[in-house]
Amino acid sequence: MNITAAYTDLYQLTMAQVYFGTKPDGRAVFDYYFRHNPFNSGYSIFAGLEDVLDILETLKFSSSDVTYLEQHGFEKDFLHYLRDFRFRGNIFSSKEGDVVFPNRPILQVEANIMEAQIIETLLLNILNFQTLIATKASRIRRSAQDGMLLDMGLRRAHATGGYYASRAAAIGGFDSTSNVKAAEDYNIPSSGTMAHSFIQSYDDELEAFRDFSKMRPKKCVFLIDTYNTLKSGLPNAITVAKEMERNGQQLLGVRLDSGDLAYLAKKTRKMLDDANLSYVKIVASNQLDEFVIKSLKEQGAPIDIFGVGTNLVTGKPDAALDGVYKLSEYNGDPRIKLSENILKVSLPSKKQVYRMLDKNGMFYGADAIALFSDDKLEQMEHPFDATKSLNLDRFDHEPLLEKVMEHGKKVNKPRSVTEIADYSKSRLEKLPEEYKRFQNPHIYKIGLSHQLKQERDKLVLKHTF
Ligand SMILES: Nc1ncnc2c1ncn2[C@@H]1O[C@H](COP(=O)(O)OP(=O)(O)OP(=O)(O)O)[C@@H](O)[C@H]1O
Ligand SMILES: O=P(O)(O)OC[C@H]1O[C@H](OP(=O)(O)OP(=O)(O)O)[C@H](O)[C@@H]1O
Ligand SMILES: O=C(O)c1cccnc1
């Protein structure tokens, strides 16, 4: 997508103009984190990073952006700055695809304060949305077990969000997408079946299937519920499948798109098997989500491929991930944001996050946040409860934030969506089952190093009246 630096909120620019006039060389550290896992999930899947980095590398205001801002009262010197604007900061981040948790930095931006501020909206817009959808996709992947998953959501997505939704769905575990542009740009497998309109355009359903099989015999899937699934669609599909066999071809599948999907899938499987068409797969669609798919599995529905649209790409029922971007350091000094709600008090300073590992390499269930300058991590303390701490001696731990951008340039070679999806899968395998269940998942622990907690509490006192 063609995104310019004007893809931001107006207040970022008004603040930047004031910084420009008063402290143009200020250095800031901002933390990106979210406060709650969506969908009552026990984890989230971090997605969108590679897109953000790609956009930041070439981000500019277009000349028409600058003309627009000129007409809206921004002063000449500042417009001159915007004309030459580039993001030249550093970014430290969790790996895209990693399993992440609330209230710990996922990503940190270290940059000139104007640059860090101007990119905030873009960064939140992409990371919040893709993390939401990748998390939803990962839950659907879990319920579908080894079934194939096809993203069909573009038509129901929130406008161009559908483009990023298809990418995030692939990271969360979808096998393919109907979205041609996303498939092309991100090298995601594309696939699809046919619409009711195709069959309706013929007087006869059989003729519709026959024409389709002649012109598009490869990976051909018939939609069989236009008139009557068991009395018309399926018998016609079987007739054409047999004709295809005589031409040395194989029908790939039939799609069910209404009615009781478990009942129809069982009947369909039996009729296909009785016709010696056991290779023909059953595709199901119609307002599927992780719960309907789980239920279909429990009912023993012999569905091979699940097509999922609306509930995936809109992140239903959660409208958004509540990711935020908070200033944690300015010109080397720690900064804090207080709140009536203690859970919302931000964490000061540049930080590192460590994941505790069990002896078998599985995640233990705790991430510790430390000051970047901490040299030793002996225990993590509960953020708010002074009676709770965890001794870390017995754990191996891995740092989670790595430098991904230096002076505005990407540090690592680009990772494909497939690589990110594979990485995500391998990380999710290390997360114990109790964090992955849908009902009341275990709560993953987030703790602070002693020094970080002291620094936070010192600042809380300083700013409390
Ligand atoms: N066996 C099943 N168990 C659980 N949920 C199911 C089962 N079969 C279908 N569903 C789900 O139930 C919902 C049924 O939707 P709806 O009431 O719109 O029926 P429909 O068959 O789609 O009707 P229409 O002919 O109008 O398309 C969908 O979300 C579908 O995925
Ligand atoms: O239910 P969702 O999870 O959102 O999946 C996508 C839906 O979109 C299509 O229907 P639509 O009525 O738009 O078109 P059609 O003519 O192809 O059936 C498809 O048949 C699915 O039912
Ligand atoms: O290929 C399909 O079957 C498809 C694609 C988009 C939406 N509904 C169905």
Report whether residue 152 contacts ligand 2, using a CB cutoff of 6 Å: yes
**Is there a contact between 251 and 244 (Cβ–Cβ < 8 Å)?**
yes
Report whether residue 337 contacts ligand 2, using a CB cutoff of 6 Å: no
**Is there a contact between 396 and 368 (Cβ–Cβ < 8 Å)?**
no
- Convert 327-351 to b/e letters by CB count within 10 Å (16 or more is b): bbbeeeebbbeeeeeeeebbbbbbb
Query: According to the model, what pLDDT value does residue 465 have?
Result: 82
Helix pair angle (120-144, 290-298), 10° resolution: 10
d(CA 162, CA 156): 8
d(CA 305, CA 252): 11
**Is there a contact between 75 and 17 (Cβ–Cβ < 8 Å)?**
yes
d(CA 189, CA 174): 10
**Is there a contact between 364 and 344 (Cβ–Cβ < 8 Å)?**
no
Domain 10-133+318-462, CATH among 3.40.47.10, 3.20.140.10, 3.40.50.970, 3.40.710.10 = 3.20.140.10
291 Cα to the center of ligand 2, angstroms: 18
CATH 3.20.20.70 residue ranges in the chain?
135-313
ipTM of the shown complex: 0.97
Pocket of ligand 1 (CB under 6 A): 258-262, 286-288, 292, 295-296, 299
Single-letter residue type at 186: Y
Pairing of strands 323-330, 333-334: antiparallel
CATH fold group of domain 135-313: TIM Barrel (3.20.20)
Q: Compute φ and ψ for 294, nearest 5 degrees.
A: -60, -45
Query: According to the model, what pLDDT value does residue 376 have?
Result: 86
Measured CA to CA in angstroms, residue 270 lies from 110, 135, 266, 275, 279 at distances of 61, 35, 6, 9, 12
Question: What stretches of 48-160 show up as alpha helix (H) in DSSP?
Answer: 49-58, 63-71, 76-83, 113-118, 120-144
Burial classification of residue 445, based on how many CB atoms lie within 10 Å of its CB (0-12 exposed, 13-18 middle, 19 or more buried): middle
* Most informative mutation of 261, 266, 267, 283 for ligand 1 (most atoms within 8 A of CB): 261
CATH 3.20.140.10 residue ranges in the chain?
10-133+318-462
Which residue, judged by its Cα, is nearest atom 3 of ligand 3? 193
pLDDT tens, the chain, 465 aa long: 679 999 999 999 999 999 999 999 999 999 999 999 999 999 999 999 999 999 999 999 999 999 999 998 899 999 999 999 999 999 999 999 999 999 999 999 999 999 999 999 999 999 999 999 999 999 999 999 999 999 999 999 999 999 999 999 999 999 999 999 999 999 999 999 999 999 999 999 999 999 999 999 999 999 999 999 999 999 999 999 999 999 999 999 999 999 999 999 999 999 999 999 999 999 999 999 999 999 999 999 999 999 999 999 999 999 999 999 999 999 999 999 999 888 899 999 999 999 999 989 999 999 999 999 988 899 999 999 999 999 999 999 999 999 999 999 999 999 999 999 999 999 999 999 999 999 999 999 999 999 999 999 999 999 988
**Is there a contact between 146 and 171 (Cβ–Cβ < 8 Å)?**
no
Report whether residue 201 contacts ligand 2, using a CB cutoff of 6 Å: no
Would you give the end-to-end CA distance of the chain in angstroms? 48
Query: According to the model, what pLDDT value does residue 1 have?
Result: 62
For the entire predicted model, the pTM comes to 0.98
